[in-house]
Amino acid sequence: MALFSPWPSPSPSFQVLRKFCERSEHLLWYLSSIEDQRSEELRHLGDVVYLDYAGAALYSRSQILATQDLLLGGFLANPHSCSESLAQVERSRDFVLQMFNVSRKSHTVIFTSGATQSLHLLGEHFCWADCGLFLYADESHTSVLGLRQFAGCFGSFALEDLPKLAEERLEAAQLIAGGSAPSAAKALNLVAFPGESNFSGLRPDLSAVAKLRAGASGGRRWRVLLDAAKLAMTGLDLCKVPADFAVVSFYKIFGYPTGLGALVVRQDAAHLLQPGAKAGAPDSAAGGEGEVRRAPYFGGGAVASISARSEFFVPRPCLSEWLERGTLNFQGIAALPRQLAALRRLAPDLRRKLHAQAVCREAFLRTRMRRHSNGLRLSRIFGAHEEARWSELQGPTLALVLFYADGSPIPYGLVHEEAKKRNILLRVGCHCNAGACQRYLNLSDADVRHFYAAGKVCGDNLGLVDGRHTGVVRLSFGLFSTLKLS
């Protein structure tokens, strides 16, 4: 069953889309280019209908050819042995900063295997304080929730509704964490939220980042961690969004290479990850009271000097050298500038963003109007699609649950199987975002425990327990998405 029809058949969003296209000069590009680009750039896709851009962007033929030219046009050896490879890595480091509208003067880039490793490194090396608080949004990815394991060893952690975090309404979270103590105002506190939810596409008001950093909220001072893994796909400006720490995965932006991401750190927050920082130290200083933290681990290339016969070692003073363990994915890193250049030749940054937004809006409006013959709606859609400011608050993602004509829930596993039969690639489940599932499906902690006891585990196809949805169907859109779904 088609969720929406081929352009330009009538739909409730036709006038909205036409106005949008005229304003952005998108309509002419869409009509003249999109199908030609798909046939030329996505031959490898075959007849697959791809609706999982939140999982990974689609790499184009032009991007792979650009990488081929790089690898065959010169020799890239291990950077520890080859100065040219090292120079390529450093150029790509500058490129990443430029892509996010900052420079080495204000930020540093630590290359990782992806956003998850970036978060692991942050948690492992962050200067957690005994009376500090780690506060995270309810729509946080599991990899962000994993930071509780570090925070709980020193201070405390609490959860808050994502929109409330963006509105700085943190008093409730402070009470959850046990109230305020005189030492709390001086403690090092960390707040984390997604720039865009990978579950629903919900985007908080990121002006809160600067406000949180500028002053006390909830009686505490905050350092801000931005999970930008999903947001970076449609653009991230760290000059406008001055998070202390931001994590990204490049395959979500380019599709290729996989296994490559970054932890981007503000220079004025870098001391909080340095091996010489002291646990429990005031936020404003690298030193202060507290014991010098023992480095939990270091890898090859991270030390300036070391003895195998004693515990003596000297960390490298450069943060990226200290945290980048072993040999980097130097060939993938060198390919990053060419990936973006190839992508921009296909469509400029703003056009890619507006295109994904337009297709998602069309999908939402057409899906919302679908009803059974008895008048009951086919679906319930989550996110900020109904908001007046939807274009600011909603990313190109459609998260929904489906119902039969009698109102009973359709298991997402059935939707997944039927989609596969039709070569439609979409995602189902909770998408490593338990808080969003609990929020939108009204699941308590007791419900989660009960579902697990009933056999429900993360990543399976068990879409119903006791007649209740356990996850959602997620459709997500990007550059090569079209207004036609076969």
CATH classification code of 14-58+347-476: 3.90.1150
Nearest CA to 463 out of 415, 431, 425, 421 is that of: 415
Q: Of 204, 217, 125, 124, nearest to 168 (Cα)?
A: 217
| Separation of alpha carbons 191 and 223, rounded Å | 6
Q: Does the reported pTM lie above 0.75? A: yes
Query: How many whole angstroms separate alpha carbon 165 and alpha carbon 170?
Result: 7
Report the distance separating Cα 340 and Cα 486, nearest Å: 30
Separation CA 276–CA 315 (nearest Å) = 9
DSSP label at residue 444: -
Topology of domain 83-334, CATH = Aspartate Aminotransferase; domain 2 (3.40.640)
For 115-233, list the strands marked E by DSSP. Answer: 133-137, 156-160, 189-194, 222-227
Decide: 327 and 83 in contact? Cβ < 8 Å: no
Residues with Cβ within 8 Å of 436's Cβ and at least 6 positions away in sequence, in order, are 138, 139, 197, 199, 200, 382, 430
Domain chopping of the chain, boundaries: 14-58+347-476, 83-334
Per-residue confidence (pLDDT) for residue 187, from 0 to 100: 75
H or E element at residue 124: helix 115-125
Give the phi and the psi of residue 449 in degrees, each rounded to 5. Answer: -65, -40
pLDDT for position 293: 61
State yes or no: is 153 an active-site residue: no
- Give 10-residue mean pLDDT values along the chain (486 residues): 37 50 59 79 94 97 96 91 92 97 98 98 90 89 95 77 61 44 68 95 90 70 94 95 98 97 98 74 50 75 93 93 94 97 90 90 94 96 95 96 98 97 97 96 97 95 96 96 72
Q: Which of 21, 360, 430, 432 is catalytic?
A: 432
Look at residues 451, 102, 475 and name the one whose alpha carbon lies nearest to residue 269: 102
